[in-house]
Copies of this chain bind each other. A is one copy, B any other.
Amino acid sequence: MRIGELAEATGTTAKTLRFYEEAGLLPPTHRASNGYRDYGPDAVTRLDFIRRGRAAGLTLAQIREVIDIRDTGQTPCSHVHALLTIRLTDIDRQIADLQGLRATVARLRDEAGQANPAACDAEDVCRYL
């Protein structure tokens, strides 16, 4: 299949597919005699894999890591497990950070009171922040 068909089949764009190839996420594929890229059906599988990784919040670099391991013939499962564990820790930290931030912002806002310009003093400062 050609790049446009693959793009449509996987819900992405030809631009992105060329970018993925450049980034090492898709192997350089066979070219037809006219120079057009010619993809087999496994390209769809690989792109689905990439899409799922993205949806799990993995970076392209992390996904490429997994692909590289697999391409050396190893089973990347334990690596994926470790990656997802790290990702979970990250997410938990982000949630905790955001919850702390939420409390701070809520406090600042509630101290303000919507129509209380007196809380702004004459200096270069708004006491809300």
The answer on a CB contact under 8 Å between B117 and A88 is no
Residues A56 and B129 in contact, CB atoms below 8 Å apart = yes
For this complex, 15 residue pairs linking A to B, each with C-beta atoms less than 8 Å apart, are A42-B124, A45-B123, A45-B124, A48-B125, A56-B104, A57-B101, A66-B129, A70-B126, A77-B117, A84-B108, A84-B109, A84-B128, A85-B109, A87-B105, A88-B106
On whether A56 and B119 interact (CB within 8 A), knowing A99-B95, A114-B78, A124-B70, the answer reads no
| Chain B residues whose CB sits within 8 angstroms of the CB of A46 once the complex forms | 124-125
User: Does A80 lie at the interface of the complex (its beta carbon under 8 Å from any beta carbon of B)?
Assistant: yes
Question: For window 54-69 of chain A, which residues contact chain B by CB distance below 8 Å?
Answer: 55-57, 66
Please determine whether B123 and A42 come into contact, CB atoms closer than 8 angstroms.
Answer: yes
| Copies of this chain in the oligomer | 2
| A70-B126, A124-B49, A126-B49 as given contacts; A102 in contact with B112, CB under 8 Å | no
Q: How large is the interface on A (under 10, 10 to 19, 20 to 34, 35 or more residues)?
A: 35 or more
| From B76, B91, B102, B115, contact of A98 by CB (8 A) | B91
CB distance from A5 to the nearest CB of B (A): 19
Looking at A94, A98, A123, A128, which has the most chain B CB atoms within 10 Å of its CB?
Answer: A128
- The smallest C-beta distance from A122 to any residue of chain B, in angstroms, reads 9
Counting CB contacts under 8 A, is A72 at the interface?
Answer: no
